[in-house]
Amino acid sequence: MDWTLVLVWALKSAVLFFILITGCAYYTLAERVVAGFIQDRRGPNRAGPLGLFQPLADGIKFLTKEEVFPVNVNKGMYLIAPAISIVCAILAWSIIPFGGTIPLPPMLATPSFPSIDLQIANPNTGILFMFAISSLSVYGIILAGWSSNNKYSLMGGIRSTAQMISYELPLGLSVVIVILLSGSLRLTDINDAQKGLWFIFTLPGLIAFFIFSVAMFAETNRLPFDLAEAESELVVGFHTEYGAFKFALFFIAEYMNMITMSCVVSLLFFGGYNVPFGILEGSDLQPLVGLLFFVGKVLFFAFLFMWVRWTLPRFRYDQLMVLGWKKLIPWCLFNIVLAATYVVYWGKYWKGIFN
């Protein structure tokens, strides 16, 4: 066994986990600041300068609150549910490429590691792995609702499960367009296929992007599709009976999933970490500049989640289902035919643009 390889994987995983947890903590702060700005009021401004210590205060509060178990809960499933949600949210990050390959300085480089990839793993079926892991998070939600011994929690779990399963179909079908245009399931290949032209600037890619954008809001249970947490109907939904650190795990998983979707939509439709117009192509600075461009795209879509939350009202549940099954899925099927026609009859044209 090459222990150097194991060490590099462990270091990259530890660094990514630290960045991910810190990013989620300050994402909550950013959302509260943006909410205050949109509603013309002050956001967090008491804990530290400009409220920058607010995530730390929230973390201490979650860790020090009393752990309470409601009467007659299924304790095993009650504890496993938030663990499933957070584990699935973390695993999805293991295959996201944040940039290209960075050459190591001579003092750190070895014959087996002359450079380092800004990605933990790069499987051939990367996009399928990501959606398989994301699909498993449904179990955390339905188990949380069922094990809580609360009819409102159960209803929230059922509604959320139906919503997530329904919108996984248009989400997956919109990704089929990207697979057709790029000819690969590997995320780095999808990124490299957009060096000439981002998929968002093609007609099938544009349609797929709008469908994917709507579906990703429903998949993450965010407004205007947060039917699983409709407070006026369900008293917060599937996690009504959760508090302290157990609730924090659901809370962190939700924000991780939003950042994950921001990364995925940037990779699939907006060129990922490609620098526009081929600037610095082949240069040693290109991976670092590409990383900055990728982070900028992710921050934009992370802001979009917050903007939409404080702008649009919540859909009714019947409207949610009609939109998914009767509107988005037919458009997805039409778009697949359109993309397949382009690839078959104008294959050389597409290949010349994307490579």
Question: Domain residues of the chain, as ranges?
Answer: 57-354
The CA angle 249-250-253, to the nearest 5 degrees, is 85
> Tens of pLDDT along 246-273?
888 888 888 999 999 999 999 999 988 8
Mean pLDDT of the chain: 84
Asked if residue 106 has a cis previous peptide bond (ω within 30° of 0), the answer is no
Residue with tokens 């290209």: 100
Cβ atoms of 269 and 205 within 8 Å: the answer is yes
CA–CA dist 95, 188 (Å, integer): 9
Q: Provide the pLDDT for residue 174.
A: 93
At 329, is the pLDDT very low, low, confident or very high (cuts 50, 70, 90)? very high
Q: Provide the pLDDT for residue 349.
A: 54
User: Tokens standing for 254?
Assistant: 């939700």
User: Residue 74, class by beta-carbon neighbours within 10 Å (0-12 exposed, 13-18 middle, 19+ buried)?
Assistant: middle
CA–CA dist 8, 317 (Å, integer): 47
Percent of residues, the chain, with pLDDT higher than 90? 20
At 214, is the pLDDT very low, low, confident or very high (cuts 50, 70, 90)? very high
Q: Provide the pLDDT for residue 354.
A: 46
Residue with the bigger pLDDT between 116 and 44: it is 44
Residue with the bigger pLDDT between 51 and 110: it is 51
* Phi, psi for 101 (deg, rounded to 5): -105, 125
DSSP summary character for residue 324: I
* Phi, psi for 184 (deg, rounded to 5): -155, 155
Q: Where are the alpha helices (DSSP H) in the chain?
A: 3-38, 54-64, 75-91, 126-147, 151-182, 187-192, 203-219, 231-234, 244-269, 286-309, 317-322, 329-345, 347-354
Mean pLDDT for 167-181 is 91
Q: Provide the pLDDT for residue 268.
A: 92
Q: Does residue 109 surpass a pLDDT of 50?
A: yes
CA–CA dist 198, 276 (Å, integer): 9
Mean pLDDT for 207-229 is 87
Q: Provide the pLDDT for residue 108.
A: 64
Q: Provide the pLDDT for residue 265.
A: 94
At 232, is the pLDDT very low, low, confident or very high (cuts 50, 70, 90)? low
Residue in 31, 76, 93, 71 with CA at minimum distance from that of residue 222? 31
Q: Provide the pLDDT for residue 352.
A: 47
Mean pLDDT for 328-347 is 86
Q: Provide the pLDDT for residue 2.
A: 61
> Tens of pLDDT along 7-22?
777 888 888 888 888 8
CA–CA dist 61, 23 (Å, integer): 18
Percent of residues, the chain, with pLDDT higher than 70? 89
Q: Provide the pLDDT for residue 94.
A: 86
User: Tokens standing for 341?
Assistant: 């026609």
Half-sphere exposure at residue 288, Cβ-oriented, CA atoms within 13 angstroms:
6
CA dihedral 307, 311, 313, 315 (to 10 degrees): -40
For residue 245, CA distances in Å to 47, 75, 231 come to 21, 15, 21
- Strand, helix or coil for residue 276: helix
Assign residue 20 a region: left if phi > 0, alpha if psi is -120 to 50, beta otherwise? alpha
In sequence order, the β-bridge partners of residue 312 are: none
Q: Does residue 209 surpass a pLDDT of 90?
A: yes
At 110, is the pLDDT very low, low, confident or very high (cuts 50, 70, 90)? low
Mean pLDDT for 279-308 is 84
Model pTM score: 0.89
Least confidently predicted of 74-78, 230-234, 262-266, 348-352: 348-352
Q: Does residue 122 surpass a pLDDT of 80?
A: yes
Q: Does residue 187 surpass a pLDDT of 60?
A: yes
The CA angle 175-218-129, to the nearest 5 degrees, is 40
Residue type, 107: M
